Structure 1
Amino acid sequence: MTIAFEKMHANGDDFVIVDCRMRDVTLPPDLIRRLGDRQRGIGFNQIAILRHCENATADLSFWNADGTSLAACGSATRGVAGKLMGETGADDVTVRTSRGILRCMRHPDGQISVDMGLPLLLWSEIPLAEAMDTARLPLAGDPAACSMGNPHCTFFVDDIDQVDVEARGREFETHPLFPNRTNVHFVQVLDPVRIRLRIWERGAGISPGSGSCSCAAVVNGIRRGLLSEDVDVLCDGGLLRVSWNGRDGVQLAGPVEPVFCGEWTA
């Protein structure tokens, strides 16, 4: 079996796109793990499967490198949007995900934005193991939680350079409070319109950037009264822009760059 693919990254958050619109390909979890292996495969944080859709430009599904599925991936969504806009010549497209139909746009500076949809704030939506205030979890470090289609746990810290992201990320990703595991991120608020963000992604580990994590971090910061509606998010890999007015969908904007394309043969 031969699988054609494209690899891209968004501020170092790397992902692979497999286009199944012309030729459907079955990608079971064990094969996704082989493709995601950075030593023996292609290597990526997430893989996006692109298929035909009747009521949007394309249908998207996402998988982590460990073979688990996820409902949202801001980086790969913007990467697929860029690919589709390149094909159509349009400056906006829609993609259907398990979060619904998302609108994506290309801006004059070349950055691509996506409406990531409404954040989920109820304990049962994230989900958590029991009912509680999701803005202040009963865990050491006083984190907040929300979902952008995948669960997120946000810690607000005074000095992000002093955080052991790997140790704390591993610890809280599998905490019993999160039955489906969780993304874990650490935020240092520089001022109401700027944060530094470091990320432990569920199923992928430390990541230099993540669209959904950036959105969740800003949502939780706004819920805590720490941030304004428009925030620059400085990840290890670069800068993203997140906007949320507290009512509508979360807007995510940033760069996406192709890396290479090829064919993988079993």
Structure 2
Amino acid sequence: MTSPLADRPILRMNGIGNEILVLDLRGTSLEVAPAEARAIARAPGLRFDQLMTLHEPRGAGADAFMRIYNNDGSLSGACGNGTRCVAFVLGEKGEGDALLLETAAGPIRTWRRGEALFTVDMGAPRLDWRAIPLAGEGADTAHVALAPPVAGAPAGFSAVNMGNPHAVFFVEDLAAIDLDALGPVIETHPLFPDRVNVSFAHVAAANDILLRVWERGTGATKACGSAACATLVAASRAGLCGREAQVRLPGGELDIAWGANDHVLMTGPVELEFETRLDPRIFREQEA
């Protein structure tokens, strides 16, 4: 018996290189199982960093509830680049240029700024050690020692939760960082009971940050919106920049602003690559 997801339409998009799939399941009771997400990620042309599935809203005034899958089948609390892609899809369906989207991490508002340009309100950063979460009591999340140390990694980091846990390391030379080696070790470090997104950042100027990211459950990616937001917050707390900056990732740039209301706004473009249907063979191979 094949998956009920077979033959359903799916969109491939990207947010400054972040590989995103959007699967609209509204009007059904369907949910994607972790094994199905992994099967989709292995399908030719459908490898993704995040899969955004849309479901009926749960609260009054919301436009949709989103589930966010990493390519290992695990769930993510937030994905800024993926949320911009969802805003584009719903806007193209005539559902509005200002949307309220629900996630496991809380509500997210989006606004269309141009044909393919969107702002996402990522909410307020969570800075208490219990909200990251971190192992060990009472940590100052602005300055956390990486203990036990990891060879080749800086001695300390700043911790921020932007719907997902993030560890931000400030470095002088991004090219000297072996992201593929350090990322998985820090992601699963005992300091992080829920694993962590790992960011290495260089503050080039008061409003210019360079960033490379290893995403929890996905690996090295060209972009990560929640990491860009976490990095701006961490840099501002450390006095390395103000509350607005352009964050430059391998896939492109995002404008990040930490507002007076404590919410972090992310603005950036999206691109629709193609629409296809989920081949039933994807799931038969999974069952085999």
- TMscore range, shorter length: over 0.9
Are positions 1:197 and 2:211 aligned together?
Answer: yes
Are positions 1:31 and 2:55 aligned together?
Answer: no
Query: 1:138 corresponds to which residue?
Result: 145
Which of 185, 205, 208 is the matching residue for 1:171?
185
Query: 1:236 corresponds to which residue?
Result: 250
Residue 143 of structure 1 aligns to a residue whose secondary structure is strand
Distance 1:32 1:41 in 2: 14
Identity of aligned residues (%): 36
Query: 2:132 corresponds to which residue?
Result: 126
Query: 1:94 corresponds to which residue?
Result: 100
Query: 2:277 corresponds to which residue?
Result: 263
Residue 40 of structure 1 deviates from its aligned partner by 5.1
From the CA coordinates, give the structure whose radius of gyration is larger: 2
Are positions 1:49 and 2:56 aligned together?
Answer: no
Residue 24 of structure 1 deviates from its aligned partner by 3.7
Distance 1:204 1:71 in 2: 14
Aligned residues: 265
Distance 1:260 1:89 in 2: 20
Distance 1:89 1:99 in 2: 23
Runs of 5+ in structure 2 lacking a partner? 284-288
Distance 2:52 2:25 in 1: 10
Contact 2:116 2:271 in 1 (8 A): no
The one-letter amino acid of 1:34's match is: A
Residue 88 of structure 1 aligns to a residue whose secondary structure is coil
Residue 103 of structure 1 aligns to a residue whose secondary structure is strand
- How big is the alpha-carbon RMSD for the aligned residues of Structure 1 and Structure 2? 1.5
Residue 33 of structure 1 aligns to a residue whose secondary structure is helix
Judge which range, 92-101 or 227-236, deviates more.
Answer: 92-101
Distance 2:40 2:101 in 1: 24
Cα 1:41/1:86, change in 2 over 3 Å: closer
Judge which range, 239-248 or 145-154, deviates more.
Answer: 239-248
Are positions 1:116 and 2:130 aligned together?
Answer: no
The one-letter amino acid of 2:56's match is: H
Residue 231 of structure 2 aligns to a residue whose secondary structure is helix
Query: 1:226 corresponds to which residue?
Result: 240
Which of 85, 88, 99 is the matching residue for 1:82?
88
The one-letter amino acid of 1:248's match is: D
Residue 199 of structure 1 aligns to a residue whose secondary structure is strand
Residue 74 of structure 1 deviates from its aligned partner by 0.5
Cα 1:143/1:258, change in 2 over 3 Å: same
How far does the alpha carbon of each residue in 1:150-177 deviate from its partner, in whole angstroms, 9 at most, with x for none? 1100000001111111111111000000
How far does the alpha carbon of each residue in 1:100-141 deviate from its partner, in whole angstroms, 9 at most, with x for none? 222101114641010001111000001001121111111152
Residue 32 of structure 1 aligns to a residue whose secondary structure is helix
Distance 2:113 2:164 in 1: 27
Residue 232 of structure 1 deviates from its aligned partner by 0.2
Contact 1:34 1:41 in 2 (8 A): no
Runs of 5+ in structure 1 lacking a partner? none
Judge which range, 53-62 or 172-181, deviates more.
Answer: 53-62
Residue 88 of structure 1 deviates from its aligned partner by 1.9
Distance 2:14 2:125 in 1: 24
Query: 2:286 corresponds to which residue?
Result: none
